[in-house]
Amino acid sequence: MIYCLIVELSYMVQILMASKLQQLQSQACQASKFVAKHGTAYYKQLLEQNKQYIQEPPTVEKCNELAKQLFYTRLASIPGRTESFWKELDYVKQLWKNRKELKVEDAGIAALFGMECFAWFCAGEIVGRGFTFTGYYV
């Protein structure tokens, strides 16, 4: 009796998965047709709208040069960023020293910011686990 129920349940799951697979295939086919039909026009429009950002000549060497420029520009911005960090930290320390004068609105904003940071942390954990809520795949 239990074996029959298990077999029947397994069969129902297979049917459900097959129908979901067919739906996904249909949606993927529709998306592929849409991209094939409209992709080139969108690409040309996007390049035309942003032509002021395109470096001439658009070669691999130019891309490598721009990548190096970006890397070293970000590297050069580290001292300014650390200075900003220490200023922010000093501001937080000052707020903590004068917490008796802290308004409810400011405390609420700080609490909401903390909750948002925690929510983004949880979202990152879920993504890192492969979009599972309960744990890692074993």
pLDDT in tens, 70-92: 999 999 999 999 999 999 999 98
Confidence of residue 1 (pLDDT cuts 50, 70, 90): low
Q: CB neighbours of 130 closer than 8 A, spacing ≥ 6? A: 136, 137
Q: How far is CA 23 from CA 10, 20, 27, 28, 39, in A?
A: 20, 5, 6, 9, 23
Here the contacts of 4-9 (C-beta below 8 Å, separation 24 or greater) are none
Tokens 């993504």, residue located:
127
* Residue % of the chain over a pLDDT of 70: 90
pTM of the predicted structure, to 2 decimals: 0.45
Domain ranges (residues) in the chain:
1-54
Question: Would you give the DSSP letter of residue 54?
Answer: P
Are the C-beta atoms of residues 91 and 98 closer than 8 Å to each other?
A: no
Question: Would you give the DSSP letter of residue 55?
Answer: P
Mean pLDDT of the chain: 87
Q: Which pLDDT score, from 0 to 100, does residue 29 have? A: 85
Q: CB neighbours of 137 closer than 8 A, spacing ≥ 6? A: 129, 130
